[in-house]
Amino acid sequence: MMEFVTLNNGVKMPQIGYGVYQMPPVETERAVNDALSAGYRLIDTAAAYMNEEGVGAAIKKSGIAREELFVTTKLWVQDHGYENTLKAIETSMKKLGLDYLDLYLIHKPYGDYYGAWRAMERFYKEGRIKAIGVTSFWNERLADLFNCNEVKPAVNQIETNVWHQQWAAGDFMKKHGITHEAWAPFAEGNNDVFHNEVLQSIADKHGRTVGQVMLRWLIERGVVVIPKSAHKERMEENIKVFDFALDADDMEKIRTLDTQKSTIYDEMDPEMALAIGRHAIHD
């Protein structure tokens, strides 16, 4: 049984979806087909993942009614700016084979993302994008964006996992009616997270897996999650997180794992900002 969150414009978004980050294009269609078969209806991709066409092919072959699906894709830094963004949105829709998007996100907070946002507002007002938002915006950039523009972001997708729990960011988003979505909910397996003793003890207590505990912990915080797996059995496992609950003691034990920093990369590192800003995904 799927549960939903309601975005600040009234759009309903599944609380768990399937992410295709680092999914090779040749594998994407098969993986998304498996995910749809397992019950996922939210699919999260991005122009920078170079696999939108595979996602689109799987959607087309699935036979699932368009209105039952929630498709997210993202704008890369190279295409920021008003005119560039208008073109990028059309390109993503064409690759996905869709005439509207459920959620469109600015992928990183660099370059002319103000011009990008205004182009996204145009598509949103035209009804060709149902909700618009951002990815990896820290609180002050998120605040500045919605303070100086007409449409408030519906979603901010940020790295959130047991090592980097993002309580301050989550509180700020909740205060301002912006949905918190987690990328890397499993921390990409870093610090041997799937064998962590604290998480394993909680999993054993509930007769669940460590992965299910990590996802349930986020869901109970009201966070949308988009776990990725290439294996159908793991996809099926990950979506079975709505029939158990963690108690206050479980939640507190998990909170003690917070290092308040990423195990993946430091988004505040200026060298990282330079590298991201220079990365091109097309000519």
Which positions are annotated as active-site residues? Answer: 49
Residue 49: HSE in the Cβ half-sphere, 13 Å Cα cutoff: 26
Q: Residue 142: phi, psi to the nearest 5? A: -65, -45
Q: What residues contact 278, with CB distance under 8 A and at least 6 apart?
A: none
Distances (CA, A) of 239 to 25, 28, 40, 220: 23, 19, 8, 14
Distance CA 105, CA 128 (A): 14
* Amino acid residing at 185: P
Q: For tokens 């990725």, name the residue.
A: 228
Q: What residues contact 83, with CB distance under 8 A and at least 6 apart?
A: 119
Between CA 46 and CA 51, with CA 50 as vertex, the angle to 5 degrees is 80
Q: In this structure, are strands 18-19 and 42-44 parallel, antiparallel, or unpaired?
A: parallel
